[in-house]
Chain A
Amino acid sequence: MASRGKSLIGKVPLVILQLAIAFLVLAPFFWMLSVSLKPANEPFAIPARLWPDNPTLENYILAFRPEFRRYFLNSIIVSGATVLITVPLALLAAYSLTRYQFRILSVFLAAVILAQFFPAGAMIIPIYKMVKAANLLDTYASLIIAYITVTLPVAIWMLRGFLTRVPKTLEEAAAIDGARPLRAFFDIVIPLARPGIVATTVFVLIVTWQEFLFALSFTSTKEMRTLPVGMNDYIGQYGIRYGELMASSVMVSLPVIVIFFFLQRQFVSGLTAGAVKG
């Protein structure tokens, strides 16, 4: 009993630390939700209320304007297209990098990671010039191309890590069993790399969903604007409409949270356990 009591006491600092971290992470979300539900006059009421007395959805109704819907659609198109292009491309690149050993490939791999050393801010002007020269300003294509450029290297590296853990023996076994390389890739490699593919997809999705700088620079009309840029609408010259801003923030965050919730069980590691001896 004594030792048990001691270990419980030993856990107290850890629990306190965990609670503190949870508080730091969750407090802004809570505040966002709380403000979004307050009537227009309440956000700055003194004393401040943690939770509105009369929660209302009026901010949501106001925020869900046609423009907002347009931004939402734009974000979905741009993020979706980026994911659909980046992830398969990265998968093929990473697979060939793990399975075929040529010296030139390791140079390529190093170059891929080198590209990541340049911050987006440093690349934006040359990319802007290229986009302009290609007559792509204010198009979906400009953003999709830029986002692929930014996410592809990281996606390749992420997937490479997962693919190296798929034992080569399994593809050899499939080859013996009569499967062509492409068939083995779909039947064996992809299912085993699924946690990695899911993780990479989520990564690309989040990066593009929240991207601001490129979206601001390349789009000029409301028709092409994505959510992070569009939310500036609430920050006006004469004040910030906090209620609507927070309501739209909730709506922007919701898809990400939902996707995470459903995919978290897909991040199962150890899926290859038991494949080969040892």
Chain B
Amino acid sequence: MASVTLKSVSKRWGSVTAVDDVSLDIADGEFMVLLGPSGCGKTTTMRMVAGLDDPSEGDILIGDRVVNDLAPGDRDLAMVFQNYGLYPHMTVAENIGYPLKVARVGKAERTERVRAAAARVELEAYLERKPQALSGGQRQRVALARAIVRTPRLFLMDEPLSNLDAKLRVSMRAQLKHLQHELATTTIYVTHDQVEAMTLADRVAVMSKGKLQQVGAPLDIYNRPANVFVAGFLGNPSMNLIAAQAEGGRLIHAAFSLPADTVRPGKVFVGQRPEDMKVTEPEKGDFRGEVFSAELLGDAALITVRLNGDLVAVKAPKDVRARMGDVVGVSFDPAMLHLFDGQSGERLADRNGEAGKVTPFPQARGERHP
């Protein structure tokens, strides 16, 4: 068990900067999820922690030891590769047991532990097969089993569930969460699936274009995104972001005007999540607009309304009757507004005066999920 610290870590290949000055503290036993769109540097970050790539700049610490010059095998970590990395000439059982074999674990114990790891990922029936004869999801589970067969200080998992079907993914997710809780092993987990991030993470680190955007507990990030990127990336459907002007204590837009007392004058983005907005009678809302589309989501309806050039999505009760072309009113919830600087995209101070980016750290184990 160990904490992991990244100190101003960068990785460059020629003119490509894959990871740009990332600093991150991961507490002992914490489940940290790296979340971000494709190509944002998640895998690269993880490979540097693993020791497969050397950082161009910065230090990586596991525990309180700088590991920059330590070979992967000396870092006492297990990793699930995004592309599996299974040994094709070995059976499933040999694949899972290879780390134990290298560590000279006796044959009987090895067999037992391989069986237990395979059982966790529901692969007992396939132990004698070669990876070639497995489906993508099965291969991914072999990779997972090869990681959890050991008890390292650190788990690194690069999109380990990406190739599973929806049902298996949910059950493996629960398995992983349970396992991590049981072993209390520090885990860095890469995904671009925000549901996975929300459900698994103690804390989420959101990345974009090699830069760390925000680090915090899933709910904190969801409730108080630090900038427009995080605001737009988290949440499905994503947050509405409307360009407006702050002036004399109000937010002015061609179609509406809202009170906002603490905001300095200038360009701003007004952000609000679809579930915080309401569809009203045309004359009662903050603004009115034509319905662009109305989709039934099941438990709710997603109504998209034209606002000048923009589209604003509103999550409404499923019995709201709005058809394409109807004119409806839309109202904001003033308590749930997110305001971002029009230039930098950074979150502006909230009503109560706090800046948006601060998240308490580290949370002690046990009080994370009351």
A-to-B contact residues, CB < 8 Å: 167, 169-170, 172-180, 183, 187-188, 191-192, 271-278
Contacts and interface: CB of A to CB of B under 8 A. Distances in A.
26 contacts: A170-B87, A170-B88, A172-B85, A173-B79, A173-B86, A173-B87, A174-B87, A174-B98, A174-B102, A175-B51, A175-B72, A176-B50, A176-B73, A176-B78, A176-B79, A177-B99, A178-B73, A180-B71, A188-B87, A192-B89, A273-B88, A274-B86, A274-B132, A275-B87, A276-B84, A277-B83
Contacts of A273: 88, 132
B88 A172 contact: no
Contact of A169 (B51, B83, B132): B83
Contacts of B103: 178
Contacts of B52: 172, 175-176
B85 A169 contact: yes
Nearest to B78: A176
A275 B72 contact: no
B84 A277 contact: yes
A278 B102 CA distance: 28
A217 B226 CA distance: 82
A128 B305 CA distance: 90
A74 B87 CA distance: 41
Contacts of A176: 50, 52, 72-73, 77-79
Contacts of B133: 274
Contacts of A177: 73, 78, 98-99, 102, 146
A176 B89 CA distance: 18
For the complex of A and B, the 8 pairs showing the least CB-CB separation, nearest first, are: A274-B132, A173-B85, A177-B99, A277-B83, A274-B131, A276-B83, A275-B88, A169-B85
A185 to B, nearest CB: 13
A275 B130 contact: no
A275 B84 contact: yes
A191 B132 contact: no
B141 interface: no
A174 B136 CA distance: 20
Contact of B88 (A178, A180, A271, A277): A271
A170 B102 contact: no
Contact of B83 (A175, A187, A278): A278
A183 B102 contact: yes
B83 A192 contact: no
A275 B78 CA distance: 18
A175 B73 contact: yes
Contacts of B81: 169, 172-173, 276
Contacts of B300: none
A175 B84 contact: no
A175 B76 CA distance: 11
B66 interface: no
B132 A175 contact: no
Nearest to A169: B85
Contacts of A172: 52, 72, 81, 85
Interface of B: 50-52, 71-73, 77-79, 81-89, 98-99, 102-103, 130-134, 136, 139, 146, 163
B256 to A, nearest CB: 49
Contacts of B163: 277
Nearest to B82: A277
A274 B87 CA distance: 8
Given A170-B85, A170-B87, A192-B88, A274 B73 contact: no
A149 B339 CA distance: 74
B71 A175 contact: yes
Contacts of B87: 170, 173-174, 187-188, 275
Contacts of A274: 86, 88, 130-134, 139
A172 B134 CA distance: 22
Contact of B73 (A179, A191, A278): A179
A165 to B, nearest CB: 11
Give the most central of A167, A173, A191, A275: most B CB within 10 Å: A173
A278 B84 CA distance: 10
Contacts of A187: 87, 98
Nearest to B52: A172
A10 B52 CA distance: 56
A250 B87 CA distance: 43
A125 B358 CA distance: 80
Contacts of B89: 191-192, 271
Nearest to A180: B73
A176 B79 CA distance: 7
A213 to B, nearest CB: 40
A172 B52 CA distance: 7
Given A170-B85, A173-B87, A272-B88, 9 more contacts: A169-B81, A172-B52, A172-B85, A176-B52, A177-B102, A178-B102, A180-B73, A275-B84, A276-B84
B340 to A, nearest CB: 38
A174 B87 CA distance: 9
Nearest to A191: B89
Nearest to B140: A277
Contacts of B71: 175, 180
A217 to B, nearest CB: 44
Give the most central of A176, A272, A274: most B CB within 10 Å: A176
Contacts of A183: 102
Contacts of A167: 85
A278 B52 CA distance: 21
A172 B130 CA distance: 20
Contacts of A191: 89
B174 to A, nearest CB: 24
A167 B77 CA distance: 21
A85 to B, nearest CB: 26
A170 B99 CA distance: 13
A272 B87 CA distance: 8
Nearest to B102: A178
